[in-house]
Amino acid sequence: MIYKDFTGRISYISFAEDSKDGGISNAININKSLFNKKEIDFKWITYDSVSDLKKIIFLRNYIKSFTNSNHLFHFHGLWRTHSRLNNLNDTLYVVSPHGMLMPHCLKRSRLKKLISRKLWEDNFIKNSKYIFALSIQEAVSISKIYTEKNIILFPNYVNIPNISNKVINLSPPWKNDIGNSKKVLLFLSRFDSIKGIYILIDAWMQLIKSNRNKDWSLAFVGYGDNGNLKNYIEILKNNNNLRDVFVYPPAYGLMKEACFRNSDAFILPSFSEASPMAALEALSYGKPSIISKSCGVYETARFINKKSNYLSQKPYIECLPKTESIKKSLNILFNMNQKSLMELSLKSVSFIEENYNASKKFEDLLNIYSDIAKNKNIMKKFLYKKN
């Protein structure tokens, strides 16, 4: 693909640079390093540290300072101060909801979000040039709400790790609890019922009765529920209903890398996802993975890259966000021999390199930005149209 140079400034605007904004910050950080590498004029604006009374003024002043220049704004997330901005008619901008218009998200604080949409979000999205969907299922959800809106289907992506390298002098958080006595099934994400964590525990408990998970331990690594998951697991353990399940704080940087490198498999049985970074990262490390169909990892790649040679089979074990389906998928994983696990690992790495490789996909993104800035047509494979 020919790379078109982007001239002008690109500003990303989101709430926070850390986990307060969920997976948004993780995705933007990858782009930030790539923008810097290509020496593109890029700025990431966040405002969580600005006082509530001054947030809207802060954002308006920033945007106003670039009104007359060659500038593209990319807003990330909804239900925040930035999606309440108005008078943006003369501003070139696009919006990424990051799953915040999907059914499971809209059900939470439903009345508040309905009122907010009527007051702010509908107008904010209406005046955007495009709305970005991270997955095929998110594109479908958006198209049902904003039937006339142009949707660009462009998923998250990840840097490809050097799997041959080992993290030196850094042990995973479960070393003292599990050590090398058992294989480790890793869940690494936000602790939220929407991620399927409680039905995963139900499935695990049922397998204990048949002793089918005797060689495995389950490690939850994450944040976001004020200790509810850990307390729930401790209660089950104290009542002898659960074993070999552990909860650890969130892992970032080298510690997250240590988690991926030292685990034996990965699981994400979510009810709803836009484009789960953790699942993409696990696959990039070649981890045999159980991933919910609701994540849409395979389906999105298939929609965009219809001619790819790496889409004949799913590179992971797919489950539904249901206890029985998760239990069935766990049984498949636990019964795989070493050869089958290695084949699945190689498939997952090839799949990510072909479909979710940051170094390749970032140039696609720059081409999209360039076409938007020049008011040209976007490549058809990235445009979502309802059948």
Q: Which residues contact 148 (CB under 8 A, 6 or more apart)?
A: none
Q: How far apart are CA 9 and CA 242, in angstroms?
A: 53
The average pLDDT across 353-375 equals 93
The yes-or-no answer to whether 9-157+358-384 and 183-355 have a common fold is yes
Q: How far apart are CA 150 and CA 155, in angstroms?
A: 16
Residue 142 has pLDDT above 70, yes or no: yes
3-state secondary structure of 16: coil
What's the pLDDT score for residue 19?
83
Cβ(289)–Cβ(348) under 8 Å? yes
The residue assigned the tokens 């169909």 is 293
Percent of the chain with pLDDT over 90: 82
Least confident segment among 45-59, 156-170, 264-278? 156-170
What's the pLDDT score for residue 199?
98
Q: How far apart are CA 265 and CA 333, in angstroms?
A: 9
**Strands 93-96 and 71-76, sheet pairing:** parallel
What's the pLDDT score for residue 310?
56
pLDDT band with cut points at 50, 70 and 90 for residue 166: low
DSSP-assigned beta bridge partners for residue 12: 44, 74
3-state secondary structure of 38: coil
Q: Looking at the domain that runs over 183-355, which CATH code has it been given?
A: 3.40.50.2000
pLDDT digits 0-9 by tens, 42-91 = 999 999 999 999 999 999 999 988 866 689 999 999 999 999 999 898 89
CA angle 151, 321, 188 (to 5 degrees): 80
Q: How far apart are CA 264 and CA 268, in angstroms?
A: 14
Percent of the chain with pLDDT over 70: 94
Q: How far apart are CA 312 and CA 128, in angstroms?
A: 36
Residue 1 has pLDDT above 50, yes or no: no
Residue 136 vs residues 141, 153, 237, 268, 280: alpha-carbon distances, Å = 9, 7, 39, 18, 16
Q: How far apart are CA 125 and CA 115, in angstroms?
A: 15
Give 160-200 as a DSSP string: PP-TT----S---TTTTTTTTSSEEEEEEEE--GGGTHHHH
Q: How far apart are CA 153 and CA 138, in angstroms?
A: 9
Q: How far apart are CA 385 and CA 69, in angstroms?
A: 32
1.10.540.10, 3.30.930.10, 3.40.50.2000, 3.40.50.300: CATH of 9-157+358-384? 3.40.50.2000
Cβ(294)–Cβ(270) under 8 Å? yes
CB atoms closer than 10 angstroms to residue 224: 15
What's the pLDDT score for residue 90?
86
Q: Rg for the chain (alpha carbons), in Å?
A: 21
Global confidence as pTM: 0.93
Which runs of consecutive H residues, i.e. helices, occur in the chain? 24-37, 52-64, 103-107, 110-116, 122-126, 136-145, 197-210, 228-238, 253-262, 277-284, 297-304, 323-334, 338-355, 358-373
What's the pLDDT score for residue 126?
94
What's the pLDDT score for residue 179?
78
Average pLDDT, rounded, for the chain? 92
pLDDT digits 0-9 by tens, 85-113 = 998 988 999 999 999 999 999 999 999 99
What's the pLDDT score for residue 286?
97
The average pLDDT across 316-326 equals 97
Residue 29 has pLDDT above 80, yes or no: yes
What's the pLDDT score for residue 211?
85
Largest Cα–Cα distance in the chain? Answer: 68
Residue ranges per domain, the chain?
Answer: 9-157+358-384, 183-355
